[in-house]
Amino acid sequence: MTRSMMVVDDDVDILTILTFVFENRGYRVRKARDAEETLQTVAKFVPDLFILDITLPGMDGFELCRRLRAQARTRHVPVMFLTARDQPENIVQGFEAGGDDYVVKPFNMQELVARVENLLRRAREVAPTKEEREGRVIAVTSARGGIGKTTLSVNLALCLTRMWTDDVVLVDTSLEFGRAAVLLDLQDARDLGPLLQEQGEGLDRDYLEETYLTVHPSGLRFLASPPSPGDVDNIRPEGIEHLVRLLRPAYGYIVLDLASSLREPYRSALRLADQVVVLVNPEICTLVATQSLLSALTMMEVPPEAIHVMLNSLPQVENSPTQKEIETFLNMPLAGVIPGDPAHVPAAANAGRPPILDPEDLAFNQAIIQTAYYLTTSLKARE
């Protein structure tokens, strides 16, 4: 597999020389002139190695390294400082910021190449195993449509992206009439159809993102539902299972926004999920249908500890059941309550800006944050 690196330096001559040398050695080289450009690039592309100057416009190389170490997707990527600063205190600062090597300009090119090869060899030796990299699947479903399931899926996926700085993919698997792209204001989002045709295995993240995924400004990765309901006929029953198998080794969390259905391929998606979130509202028709859905999940041998019922608490009307009555009727405790917000949530949907991107003191956002924390800690408890 082609190795890749990112060189960050405001000196055009250094960028040109290193690009020439390493591309001739078979490397794929990306270049950046400052920290801001670097951080924008790594939202879509993660190299195997960073080479950073320290003296950069704006944010310096030390702070850039700290930022890279704070992100899950770049935390383990080797960082080499290549700089004219040769004072001992500068070298100490470089290692304290998270650097793996420190080379002073002017440098010997053969030595630099050898150091790069050594860093990459050590990185491969300590790389996590496939089992350690297996992403967790959170499937969000409901027994009836129109009760806020997609709103929950979108905001949950965005919250996971913000809370854990992990790599999160939201897949709109409400195949016939998915609308997650609308809520995210991603008009030209790539749909999941082409990825379903992918025959490869062990695809790396860069290939997936450059070929199949759309990156939301928040950093969330996204796959839209097919553009036309008629395209669903081309999806094999095992299609979603195949898709998840391709995504799982590359991402920390895969959130599936499922249609309100138990036919294939939704049944397979529910079986392979690590957590199944079932959304209800305080309407008797929804509760009766949810009772049947929970029975079906039991028959499908979905573990009880993997099922989490969430209540979308709409404004109370006459004869609305209480939370206690809902729990009794479903014979299952509620994992959480999403407060109804008829003023804010519809307006956010119309604007294409999910509420979770707004201030955290909103009751809706607090509930989403608590849900994300609950689900991820539940996953860790089961491991």
Band of the pLDDT at 234, cuts 50, 70, 90? confident
Ramachandran bin of 9, using left for φ above 0, alpha for ψ from -120 to 50, beta for the remaining angles:
beta
Q: What share of the chain in percent tops pLDDT 70?
A: 93
**Is it true that 4-125 and 131-382 share their CATH fold?**
yes
pLDDT for 41 equals 85
pLDDT for 130 equals 44
Summarised one tens digit per residue, pLDDT across range 151-176 is 999 999 999 988 765 589 999 999 88
Domain 4-125: top CATH class: alpha beta
pLDDT over 70 (residue 3): yes
Band of the pLDDT at 131, cuts 50, 70, 90? very low
Dihedral sign for Cα atoms in the order 130, 374, 66, 21? positive
pLDDT for 219 equals 86
Summarised one tens digit per residue, pLDDT across range 37-75 is 998 888 777 899 999 999 999 999 999 999 898 776 788
Looking at per-residue confidence, does 20 or 358 come out higher? Answer: 20
Domain 131-382: top CATH class: alpha beta
Judged by DSSP in three states, 140 sits in: strand
Two tokens, residue 354: 């999910």
The domains of the chain are located at 4-125, 131-382
DSSP code per residue over 166-196:
--EEEEEE-TTT--HHHHTT-TTPPBSHHHH
Looking at per-residue confidence, does 314 or 272 come out higher? Answer: 272
